[in-house]
């Protein structure tokens, strides 16, 4: 393996790289950096999340910026504000010893005025989300007419999120002679379309098998009844006392429900979803990064671009509808050559999906039984003893209190002191799991009736499904396309984004049937949804979007009319 010093960087950039502790480039960096330095060809890089793509394109582009020019020379587009901020922050760290380099991030959910001021002062590199970048171009604040390079990072995610129109509009305003670098974890049809339309004879670099899972990630699944899913999640958390993980749910509502239950039961958890403001999101992410939060419950959309090191576990509370997304989720752990575990809670109707996932990631998923109460108690007891054994003792600080402590405990023997200590810390687990049911039974699942108290003496909600935890009422819509049309929830979200041009719409549950589907949005957006889809087509078919309850009522009225005619 080569070292960064061999790749042709200037002393100032090497100094920044070395100050961050980087020595050897990752495989994607080893292949992409010489390609960017060596020629002006367009490039497609297929690599999983967490493989070091930002440094792969960021380092050589910083090196090639003309610091004597105050105009924008590089535009980097990313799907989420989180990733946008992260890329800009990484580039600034790489270029710490450069003088005169200006990098400006532009993204929604933050003050547009401060971003406008920053752009007016000049920026050689602009990092932006598609929506806010297009807005800045229309305001003539971002001038990309003379850029020499555009980077599309996580292109598949941008397209999945419904940014196709914004990307087309941005790319059409860029100079014909620019270089385009496209990075993606998957080569979907939409990514192929973008590359065909906007890239010229691109060099293609694939790191590992396309869509494959990282070699240092173990894939485990637990088979449970859907109604016992939350109880299984708690047992996964309890059998891993030092868990630092991401829990993925399908919808915003489910994310809120699961996080609320975990918090109520005393776990260090919180939720990350699209309803949060930028300030709320930053607050949650800061708590997660400093490990105040052990389990972050998130939707796929909210977690895109999330860059956190040392995540020990990724938990699929539900398997994603699009199984390719599984690789994105699992790629959040096992980074920087460290090991990680991807866990899936699978109900008895979803087991067939495991074989499909194994085909995608190119490795076997291990089936494990849901941990028993006895196993969890044993694991927690050993963890308690390890923590006590490894606790740092500051003799100077505790010395003034030791005489009092010794007098207070002199009536107890060494063995009795240990018993009291263990009981004090451990009785809660023993009480909770004393009559814990077996969640592995296929028939007549107990629904975890015995689990009424959380694993730290915490009260447990008996409502497994829960209710929608939102102050906003929801409208349920019917749409006349479904699985037979190749539709998945991400497509519905993309259509809502594309047709309404409003990404603040609160989207609830999405239910895909064979030939039709249902989706929910905030009630206040009902009129906007109906108007947006009124004249829209899909694959040559007229889309039909109606309020679901009205549709049922209409059918009932027609039946009544037919009865009257017969009479």
Same domain membership, residue 196 and residue 177? yes
Q: Is 122 left (phi over 0), alpha (psi -120 to 50) or beta?
A: left
Is the pLDDT score of 331 beyond 70? yes
- Look up the CATH number of the domain holding residue 484: 3.30.70.330
Same-domain check for residues 413 and 289: no
Using alpha carbons, list the distances in angstroms from residue 103 to 18, 58, 267, 462.
21, 11, 39, 51
Residues 227 and 328 in one domain: yes
Q: Angle at the Cα of 12 (from 8 to 14), degrees rounded to 5?
A: 50
Q: Is residue 446 part of a domain?
A: no
Range of the domain at 17: 4-206
User: Average per-residue pLDDT in the chain?
Assistant: 83
What are the pLDDT digits (tens) for 203-261? 999 876 554 456 789 999 999 988 899 999 999 999 999 999 999 998 888 999 999 99
Residue 557 has pLDDT above 80, yes or no: no
In a domain, 200, yes or no: yes
Residue 448: inside a domain, yes or no? Answer: no
Mark whether 275 and 193 lie in a shared domain: no
Mean pLDDT of 129-142: 94
Q: Residue 462's pLDDT is what?
A: 28
- Residue 465 falls inside a structural domain: no
Between CA 237 and CA 239, with CA 238 as vertex, the angle to 5 degrees is 95
How is residue 453 annotated by DSSP? B
Kindly state the average pLDDT of the residues 326-355: 86
| pLDDT at residue 470 tops 90 | no
Q: Percentage of residues in the chain with pLDDT exceeding 70? A: 88
Domain C-terminal end among 152, 176, 206: 206
Q: What is the pLDDT of residue 377?
A: 86
Indicate if the pLDDT at residue 375 is higher than 60: yes
On the CB side of 3, CA atoms within 13 Å amount to 7
Q: Are 73 and 146 in contact (CB under 8 A)?
A: yes
Last residue of a domain, one of 319, 347, 372: 372
Q: Per the structure block, which two tokens stand in for 272?
A: 């990350």
Spatial contact of 425 and 384, defined as CB atoms under 8 Å apart: yes
As a whole number, mean pLDDT of residues 497-517 equals: 83
- The span from the CA of 289 to the CA of 305, in Å, is 14
Does any domain span residue 68? yes
Q: Of residues 170 and 193, which shows the higher confidence score? A: 170
Helix (H, G, I), strand (E, B) or coil at 116: helix
DSSP 8-state assignment for residue 291: T
Average pLDDT over residues 504-529: 87
Residue given tokens 């070091």 in the structure block: 52
pLDDT at 208: 61
In this prediction, residue 564 carries a pLDDT of: 46
Residue 113 lies in a domain: yes
Q: Are residues 147 and 279 in the same domain?
A: no
Question: Among 114, 87, 82, which residue's Cα sits nearest to residue 103?
Answer: 87
Between helix 229-239 and helix 373-390 the angle, nearest 10°, is 30
Apex 496 CA angle, 522 and 47, nearest 5: 120
Same-domain pairing of 192 and 263: no
Q: Count of domains in the chain?
A: 4
99 shares a domain with 39: yes
DSSP assignments along 211-272, one per residue: TPPPTTEEEEEEE--GGGHHHHHHHHHHH-TT--EEEEESSHHHHHHHHHHHHHTT-SEEEE
Q: What is the predicted pLDDT for the residue at 336?
A: 62
Query: What number is the average pLDDT over the span 262-290?
Result: 87
Q: Are 346 and 224 part of one and the same domain? A: yes
Whether residues 303 and 195 fall in one domain: no
**Pair 57, 95 in one domain:** yes
Most confidently predicted of 299-313, 419-433, 500-514, 519-533: 519-533
State the pTM of this model: 0.60
| Domain contains 460 | no
Question: Mean per-residue pLDDT for 163-171?
Answer: 91
Average pLDDT over residues 489-511: 82
Number of Cβ within 10 Å of residue 38's Cβ equals 11
Contacts of residue 139, Cβ cutoff 8 Å, sequence gap at least 6: 116
Q: How many CB atoms lie within 10 A of CB 145?
A: 11
Residue 398 domain-assigned?
Answer: yes
Strand ranges (DSSP E) for 252-388?
269-272, 295-299, 313-316, 340-346, 366-367
- Please indicate, yes or no, whether residues 179 and 72 belong to a single structural domain of this protein: yes
Distance CA(95)–CA(124), nearest Å, equals 12
Type and span of the H or E element at 547:
strand 545-547
The token pair at 21 is 């502790």
Most confident of 162-171, 205-214, 324-333: 162-171
Percent of the chain with pLDDT over 90: 40
Q: State the CATH number of the domain containing residue 360.
A: 3.40.50.300
Q: In which element (H, E) is residue 60 found? A: helix 53-64
Least confident among 167-181, 333-347, 419-433, 511-525: 419-433
Q: What are phi and psi of 50, to 5 degrees?
A: 85, 15
Are both 380 and 256 inside the same structural domain? no
């Amino acid at each position: 393996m080569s070292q960064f010093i061999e790749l042709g960087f200037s002393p100032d950039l090497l100094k920044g790289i070395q100050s961050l502790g980087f020595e050897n480039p990752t495989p994607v960096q080893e292949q992409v950096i010489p390609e960017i330095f060596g020629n002006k060809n367009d490039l497609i890089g297929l690599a999983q999340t967490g493989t070091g793509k930002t440094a792969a394109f960021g380092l050589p582009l910083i090196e090639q910026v003309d610091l004597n020019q105050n105009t924008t020379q590089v535009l980097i587009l990313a799907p989420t504000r989180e990733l946008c901020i992260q890329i800009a922050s990484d580039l600034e760290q790489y270029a710490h010893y450069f003088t005169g380099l200006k990098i400006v991030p532009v993204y929604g959910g933050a003050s547009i005025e401060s971003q406008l001021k920053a752009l007016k002062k000049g920026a050689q590199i602009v990092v932006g989300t598609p929506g806010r970048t297009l807005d800045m171009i229309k305001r003539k604040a971002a001038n990309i007419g003379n850029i020499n390079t555009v980077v599309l990072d996580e292109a598949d995610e941008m397209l999945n999120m419904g940014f196709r129109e914004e990307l087309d509009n941005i790319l059409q305003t860029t100079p014909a002679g620019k270089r385009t670098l496209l990075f993606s974890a998957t080569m979907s049809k939409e990514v192929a379309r973008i590359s065909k339309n906007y890239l010229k004879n691109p060099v293609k670099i694939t790191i590992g098998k396309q869509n494959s899972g990282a070699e240092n990630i173990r894939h485990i699944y637990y088979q449970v009844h859907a109604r016992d899913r939350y109880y299984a999640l708690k047992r996964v958390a309890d059998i891993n006392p030092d868990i630092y993980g991401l829990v993925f749910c399908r919808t915003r509502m489910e994310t809120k429900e699961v996080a609320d239950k975990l918090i109520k039961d005393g776990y260090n958890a919180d939720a990350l979803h699209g309803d949060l403001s930028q300030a709320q999101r930053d607050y949650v992410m800061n708590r997660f990064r400093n490990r105040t939060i052990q389990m972050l419950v998130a939707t796929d959309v909210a977690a895109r671009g999330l860059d956190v090191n040392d995540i020990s576990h990724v938990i699929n509370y539900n398997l994603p509808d699009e199984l390719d997304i599984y690789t994105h989720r699992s790629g959040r752990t096992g980074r920087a050559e460290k090991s990680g575990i991807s866990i899936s809670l699978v109900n008895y109707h979803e087991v067939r999906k495991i074989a499909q996932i194994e085909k995608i990631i190119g490795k076997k998923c291990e089936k494990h039984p849901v941990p028993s109460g006895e196993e969890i108690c044993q694991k927690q007891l050993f963890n308690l003893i390890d923590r006590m054994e490894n606790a740092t003792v500051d003799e100077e600080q505790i010395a003034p209190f030791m005489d009092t402590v010794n007098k207070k405990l002199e009536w107890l023997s060494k063995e009795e002191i240990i018993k009291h200590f263990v009981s004090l810390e451990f009785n809660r687990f023993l009480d909770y799991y004393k009559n814990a049911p077996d969640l592995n039974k296929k028939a007549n699942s107990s629904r975890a009736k015995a689990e009424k108290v959380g694993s730290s003496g915490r009260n447990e909600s008996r409502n497994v499904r829960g209710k929608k935890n939102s102050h906003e009422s929801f409208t349920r819509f019917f749409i006349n396309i479904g699985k037979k049309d190749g539709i998945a929830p991400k497509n519905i979200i993309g259509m809502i984004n594309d047709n309404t041009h409003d990404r603040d719409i609160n989207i609830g549950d999405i239910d895909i049937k064979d030939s039709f589907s249902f989706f929910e949005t905030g009630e206040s957006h009902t009129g906007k949804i109906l108007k947006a889809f009124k004249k829209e087509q899909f694959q040559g078919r007229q889309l039909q979007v109606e309020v679901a309850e009205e549709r049922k009522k209409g059918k009932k009225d027609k039946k009544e009319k037919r009865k009257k005619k017969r009479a």
